[in-house]
Amino acid sequence: MPKGLLYLAAAILAEVVATSALKSSEGFTRLGPSLIVAAGYATAFYFLSLVLKTVPVGVAYALWSGVGIVLIALIGWLVLKQPLDAPAIAGIALIVAGVAVIQLFSRTGAH
């Protein structure tokens, strides 16, 4: 697997961890979750900066944010028991389709 994809996966994972902890930080009033948020976002942006050495910024950001949105929505649904209605599911499916198009058909994607 190319380094760009590994760095992108690390950036996405760190961002998802940070965003997941954001709710638990209760507006940054709880130290533990707040530290996870800060460390997660710092790690995410570090790895995203490494991705940008080999992947165009628009493609990298589209993949990073798209996959992150889908994962956060799934965590909200499965872990936090936040319901997803049909329009939300349709929107998430469109995001997945967009990420797939970039990965499968774009010559500028993170391959």
Contact yes or no for 18/39 (Cβ under 8 A): yes
What's at 4, amino acid-wise? Answer: G
pLDDT in tens, 23-62: 899 999 999 999 999 999 999 999 999 999 988 898 899 8
pLDDT in tens, 51-64: 999 888 988 998 99
pLDDT score at 110: 56
Residue 79 DSSP code: T
Dist CA 75 CA 45 (whole Å): 21
The pLDDT > 70 percentage for the chain reads 96
